């Protein structure tokens, strides 16, 4: 007996622990997934909740107002420091403030603190002193009521009103009402009012375009661009994927070559998406797009029409990328149809076309649908190839509008995934963008997971149904 196996015997009870490590792997994976999703949920949705405003007095006597964002440990010394969002960039020069917690003398939450969203300077946090109109002047509570009434009007009907505001440390500023977008007094709001404000903010996030160079506002153009691109892509990928699958499974001679091709298609699903992006850029954009430009759009050259990234090229690239997914899924569906059904149809005198359209395709339709949904889910979350073939940081013009020819295939478009990357890395201020990035990430994950769940349930449901049939 070798010494190793004696040791093995002696610590036999340790052997019983291996399965526990395996079980913990499952638990760890679930934990990570759960942690990621709950982080996105909490931070993504929490951003829209009206934050309580605090008035902070420091030991130095300095006073400011804002809401706490996060805390980190101070380098080199004991204790933490806290980051406050203070707004008032036009007055203070910055909208953030780091304060060591030890320096804070007093924290209060006065109910009269308000938060205004303005353009172009972003948020104001402070107090409303008065609202001045050419003929009238409102103060105190009346001013606040008048302000909320005026904000309900369109911007051009409140040109002549002015707000007199005071910061927490007593500076007064004047603010034309025309530049104010919204006003909120979160400390005075009840829980119900906050819920209302929260759902309104979520709705605005989903339905509005980005404002102030992507630092506020919503993601509607990105949702629209993503959906439009994905629809175009599925219109392209479905027929070709299905055709290729039918060819491979029903028509091609099942020899060595077909098997080889099948392995090849399967492997293309594993080729990195960025490679497809490179292909799209080189062939679609520079190759085909460039030629189209010289043939049809030579009057606008050298500025490219189709010779630059756009909706069409992005959809085509992603269609190519998701082609293997559709082919593989459809083939699986086709392979599951018993040969007896095909033979039966042919024996009854059906031609191959009739056999395919009446017997094979209806039976395999669910599998195709699953394949397309999976393809859509993959395309919706893909960013890297899009960076090369037509996604834009900001596309004020939608690719679909009321101008002839309505669908502008050459236009660049916005995409949720790229919008996320862009706001997180290219924006003006990452700290300000992070809550929006969380919300965008949550939205993207929800869309992709929703699509995947649909595919899974569809497959389950249909399999069970077919199981009953057999």
Partner 1 sequence: MIPPRLTSTRQPLRQLQDRIATGLITAGGLVVLLAILAIGVFLLWETLPLLAMGDTLALAKLSPLAWGTLKAALAALLFAVPVALGAAIYSAMFMSPRLRSRIKPALEMMEAIPGVVVGFIAGLILAPWVERHLASAMVLILWLPLSAALAGLLWQWAQTRLRGRLSFSWAGVWLVPWLVLMVAIALWLTPWIEQQLLGGDLRQLLDQRFGIDYATRNALIVGIAMGFAVIPGIYSLADDALADVPSSLVEGAQALGASRWQALWKVALKAAGPGVFSAVMIGAGRAVGETMIVLMASGNTALFSASPFEGMRSMAAAIAIELPEASPGGQTYHLLILAALVLFIFTFLVNTLAEVVRQRLRRRYNQMEATS
Partner 2 sequence: MNTLLNARPNNSRTPLALNNALARVAMILLLLITPLAAAQSPTISGTLGAVGSDTMAGLMLRWGEALTAQHPDVKLQFQASGSASAPTALVAGTTRLGPMSRPMTTEERNNFIERYGYPPLELTVARDALIIIVHRHNPLRALTRQQIDAIFSTTRACGADSPIRRWEQLPATRDWPFGDIALHGRNLASGTHGLFQQRALCDGQFRNDISEHPGSSAVVAAVGESANAMGYAGYNHLTPAVRALSLYNADGIAVAPDEGAIQNGDYPLARDLYLYVNLPPGEKLPPAEQAFLQLIMSDEGQQIIRASGFVALPQRSLTPPRMQQGPVI
Judged by the rule CB under 8 A, the positions of this chain that interact with partner 2 are 74-76, 83, 89-90, 94, 96-98, 119-122, 155, 178, 211-214, 300-303, 308, 393-394, 396-397, 412, 421-422, 424-431, 433
For partner 1, the binding residue among 270, 396, 405, 467 (CB under 8 A) is: 270
| Partner that binds at residue 463, options partner 2, partner 1, none, CB closer than 5 to 8 Å by kind | none
Quote the CA–CA distance of 269 and 326 in Å, as a whole number: 10
Distances (CA, A) of 185 to 52, 126, 182, 191, 379: 9, 10, 11, 13, 42
Quote the CA–CA distance of 447 and 206 in Å, as a whole number: 13
Quote the CA–CA distance of 324 and 328 in Å, as a whole number: 6
| Partner that binds at residue 270, options partner 1, partner 2, none, CB closer than 5 to 8 Å by kind | partner 1
Quote the CA–CA distance of 373 and 454 in Å, as a whole number: 8
For partner 1, the binding residue among 221, 225, 381, 427 (CB under 8 A) is: 381
| Partner that binds at residue 119, options partner 1, partner 2, none, CB closer than 5 to 8 Å by kind | partner 2
Tokens of 82: 């806290």
**Under the criterion CB under 8 A, does residue 28 sit at the interface with partner 1?**
yes
> Do residues 354 and 362 lie in contact, with contact meaning Cβ atoms separated by under 8 Å?
no
Q: Which is nearer to partner 1, 113 or 447 (CB)?
A: 447
Stated as kind and residue range, the H or E segment containing 459 is helix 430-469
Quote the CA–CA distance of 85 and 169 in Å, as a whole number: 15
In our burial notation (b when 16+ CB lie closer than 10 A, e otherwise), range 127-149 reads: bbbbbbeeeeebeeeebbebbee
**Under the criterion CB under 8 A, does residue 253 sit at the interface with partner 1?**
no
> How big is the chain by its Cα radius of gyration, in Å?
30
In the complex, the smallest distance separating the C-beta of residue 95 from partner 2, rounded to whole angstroms, is 8
Q: Per CB under 8 A, which region of 17-25, 140-148, 167-175, 397-405 contacts partner 1?
A: 17-25
**Under the criterion CB under 8 A, does residue 274 sit at the interface with partner 1?**
yes
Find residue 80's DSSP bridge partners: 73
| Partner that binds at residue 396, options partner 2, partner 1, none, CB closer than 5 to 8 Å by kind | partner 2
| Partner that binds at residue 397, options partner 1, partner 2, none, CB closer than 5 to 8 Å by kind | partner 2
- Cis peptide leading into 120, omega within 30 of 0? yes
In the complex, the smallest distance separating the C-beta of residue 402 from partner 2, rounded to whole angstroms, is 12
For partner 1, the binding residue among 91, 151, 178, 268 (CB under 8 A) is: 268
For partner 1, the binding residue among 277, 304, 310, 366 (CB under 8 A) is: 277
In our burial notation (b when 16+ CB lie closer than 10 A, e otherwise), range 247-272 reads: ebbeeeeeeeeeeeebeebeebeeee
| Partner that binds at residue 137, options partner 1, partner 2, none, CB closer than 5 to 8 Å by kind | none
* DSSP symbols for 65-87: EEEEEEEEEPSSSSSEEEEEE--
| Partner that binds at residue 198, options partner 2, partner 1, none, CB closer than 5 to 8 Å by kind | none
| Partner that binds at residue 107, options partner 1, partner 2, none, CB closer than 5 to 8 Å by kind | none
Q: Per CB under 8 A, which region of 58-66, 111-119, 126-134, 273-281 contacts partner 1?
A: 273-281
**Under the criterion CB under 8 A, does residue 29 sit at the interface with partner 1?**
yes
Query: For partner 1, what does the binding mask look like between residues 32 and 61, x meaning CB under 8 A?
Result: xxx-x--xx---------------------
Query: For partner 1, what does the binding mask look like between residues 338 and 377, x meaning CB under 8 A?
Result: ----------xx-xxxx-x--------------------x
Q: Per CB under 8 A, which region of 9-17, 127-135, 175-183, 212-220 contacts partner 1?
A: 9-17
> Do residues 398 and 223 lie in contact, with contact meaning Cβ atoms separated by under 8 Å?
no
**Under the criterion CB under 8 A, does residue 4 sit at the interface with partner 1?**
no
For partner 1, the binding residue among 4, 26, 152, 470 (CB under 8 A) is: 26
Distances (CA, A) of 394 to 219, 221, 310, 389: 11, 9, 13, 15
Q: Write out the binding residues for partner 1, residues 384-413 only, by CB under 8 A.
A: 384, 387-388
In the complex, the smallest distance separating the C-beta of residue 126 from partner 1, rounded to whole angstroms, is 30
Residue from 318, 335, 346, 326 nearest 259 by CA:
335
> Do residues 280 and 390 lie in contact, with contact meaning Cβ atoms separated by under 8 Å?
no
Q: Per CB under 8 A, which region of 49-57, 120-128, 173-181, 436-444 contacts partner 1?
A: 436-444
Quote the CA–CA distance of 307 and 291 in Å, as a whole number: 8
Coil vs helix vs strand at 2? coil
């Amino acid at each position: 007996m070798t010494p190793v196996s004696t040791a093995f015997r002696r610590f036999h009870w340790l052997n019983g622990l291996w399965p526990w490590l395996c079980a913990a792997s499952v638990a760890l994976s679930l934990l990570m997934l759960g942690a990621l999703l709950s982080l996105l949920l909490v931070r993504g949705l929490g951003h829209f909740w009206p934050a309580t405003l605090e008035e902070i007095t420091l030991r130095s006597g300095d006073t400011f107002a804002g809401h706490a964002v996060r805390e980190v440990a101070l380098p080199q010394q004991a204790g933490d420091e806290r980051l406050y969002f203070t707004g008032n960039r036009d007055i203070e020069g910055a909208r953030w403030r780091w304060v060591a917690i030890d320096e804070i003398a007093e924290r209060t939450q006065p109910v009269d603190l308000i938060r205004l969203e303005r353009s172009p300077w972003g948020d104001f946090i402070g107090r409303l002193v008065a609202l001045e109109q050419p003929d009238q002047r409102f103060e105190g509570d009346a001013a606040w009521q008048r302000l909320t009434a005026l904000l309900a009007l369109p911007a051009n009907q409140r040109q002549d009103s002015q707000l007199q505001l005071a910061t927490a440390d007593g500076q007064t500023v004047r603010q034309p009402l025309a530049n104010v977008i919204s006003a909120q007094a979160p400390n005075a709001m009840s829980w119900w009012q906050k819920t209302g404000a929260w759902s309104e903010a979520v709705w605005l996030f989903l339905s509005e375009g980005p404002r102030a160079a992507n630092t506020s506002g919503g993601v509607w153009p990105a949702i629209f661009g993503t959906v439009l691109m994905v629809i175009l892509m599925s219109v392209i990928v479905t027929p070709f994927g299905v055709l290729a699958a039918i060819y491979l499974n029903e028509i091609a001679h099942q020899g060595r070559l077909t098997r080889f091709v099948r392995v090849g298609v399967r492997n293309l699903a594993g080729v990195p998406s960025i490679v497809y992006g490179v292909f799209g850029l080189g062939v679609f954009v520079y190759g085909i797009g460039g030629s189209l430009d010289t043939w049809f759009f030579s009057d606008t050259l050298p500025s490219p029409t189709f010779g630059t990234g756009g909706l069409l090229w992005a959809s085509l690239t992603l269609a190519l990328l998701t082609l293997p997914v559709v082919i593989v899924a459809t083939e699986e569906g086709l392979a599951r149809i018993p040969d007896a059904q095909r033979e039966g149809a042919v024996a009854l005198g059906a031609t191959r076309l009739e056999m395919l359209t009446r017997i094979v395709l209806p039976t395999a339709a669910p599998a195709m649908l699953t394949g397309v949904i999976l393809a859509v889910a993959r395309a919706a979350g893909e960013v890297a190839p899009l960076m090369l073939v037509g996604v834009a940081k900001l596309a004020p013009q939608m690719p679909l509008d009321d101008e002839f020819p309505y669908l502008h295939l050459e236009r660049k478009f916005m995409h949720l995934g790229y919008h996320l990357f862009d706001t997180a890395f290219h924006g003006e201020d990452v700290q300000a963008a992070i809550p929006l990035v969380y919300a965008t990430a949550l939205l993207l994950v929800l869309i992709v997971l929703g699509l995947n769940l649909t595919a899974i349930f569809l497959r389950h449901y249909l399999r069970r149904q077919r199981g009953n049939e057999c």
